[in-house]
Structure formats: structure tokens, C-alpha cells
Amino acid sequence: MIMVLGRHVRKRWFSDDCAMALKKKIIRILIREIMVSLDDDTQDFTCMMHWQGGCHTTMSMKKPLSGAIKSTTPEPDIAVIRNLSVRCDDGEIARVLSKRGRTTARGKRWNQTRGAYTRKQYGIPAADKAHLDPNILSLGQAVKYTGVSDTTRMKLMNKNILPSNQVAPYAPLEINKSDLDSDPVRSMLAHLKTTGVLVLEGVALPRQESLFQ
């Protein structure tokens, strides 16, 4: 009878009708004890099983990763969050990560809630917008400060006339107020406001007087 049951153990074990309580009883009947050791260097488990009949079986397996480790946010994404959080809120950070094609540690799309959770999980403080450096302006703030369009700002930046900084691709542009107040930017904007024409260094439109003759 025992030999017959032995031939059907595998089928019975993987049957939907085999309850966990029954599996535990089978294990207790077959195995006397299991001794487990962990190799700290390789993170491998070595299992020594002592069967009731006196035989021994050894097997090895990798230590399973905990849920926290498996769900770790990649370091490059943490670096982006850390750099952006100086000036950006969680919604802005989530937008940048999404545009970069990144997802959360669990493969979800970034949003404000997930961004805030991850930032807090890694001990990254939120932006203190009440105490930001007033000399560093966003593109929108630069438009208000100078009174000209963002298109004009972009033309100056594309010609490398107006310096700008970007923490990461798709992150908000940052412009130093002192660069807006210095020449040749100040002279170009003054000329634009007076004539309605933007003349870039080395690029003079037909029948228009260049500021740099």
C-alpha cells in the first residue's frame, strides 16, 4: 500500500485537492529534519535534508529577495528625484520621470502620489518653495521678469546667448537673473521692446540695423 501511494505522491501533491495541512503531514512522515546554512558572500542557502529512512539530500538555492529589495527604485531615478526636489514639487518630478520613459519600482506610471511616496521612502525633503533662491528663475518667471515671450527666451538660449540649466532631460529650465540683466541680453531685449524686432548677435535681418555694427 505504501509503495502504491509513493508512486502517486507527485500527482497528489500538485492536485488542487491537496490541502496545505495534508502536505505538512506528508512532509513530517518523510523528513526528520532540515538544516539550513547561509553563505553571506554568495547569499546562497545550503539545505541538508535528513529523511526518515536515514538518507541525506543536499540542495542549494539563492536567498529569496525581500519585497523591499525587489521593489527598489533604480539609483539613477533616485538621483533625478533628489536633484529635482530642490525646486520642483512631486507632480513636476513625476512628469519628468514619465517623459523619460521611467516607471516606479513596481512598474507603475509615475504620478504625484507615487512620487511623494518614493521621495519620503528615501528621506528626500520636499522643495521649500518659500525659501528658494530668488536669483534662479523658471522660464515662466523669466518671462514675467523681462516682459517678453518665452519664444524670445528660447531663441536666445538656442543661440547660446542666454545661459540656462536643466537638471535632467525634460526638467524645467532654470535661468539666472544676473544673466538676464547682463549684456548682450539686456541690450537685445531693450531693442526688441523699442522696435519690435529681435536682433541676435551675428544674425541681422534684411533692412534692419544690427546692434553690433
- Give me the tens of pLDDT residue by residue for the chain, a chain 213 residues long: 556 666 777 887 888 888 888 888 888 888 899 999 988 777 789 999 999 888 999 999 888 766 555 568 999 999 999 999 999 999 999 999 999 999 998 889 999 999 999 999 899 999 998 888 999 998 889 999 999 998 998 899 998 899 999 988 999 999 999 999 998 899 999 989 988 888 886 444 344 343 333
Evaluate whether 127 touches 85 at the Cβ level (below 8 Å).
Answer: yes
Tens-digit pLDDT profile for residues 45-77? 999 999 988 899 999 988 876 655 556 899 999
Decide if 159 contacts 201 (C-beta within 8 A).
yes
Angle at CA of residue 152, ends 131 and 191, nearest 5°: 105
Torsion of CA 204, 209, 210, 213, to 10 degrees: 130
Cα 158 to Cα 73: distance, rounded to the nearest angstrom: 34
The pair phi, psi for residue 186, each rounded to 5°, is: -60, -40
Check if the beta carbon of residue 34 is closer than 8 Å to that of residue 55. no
DSSP type of residue 129: G
pTM of the model: 0.57
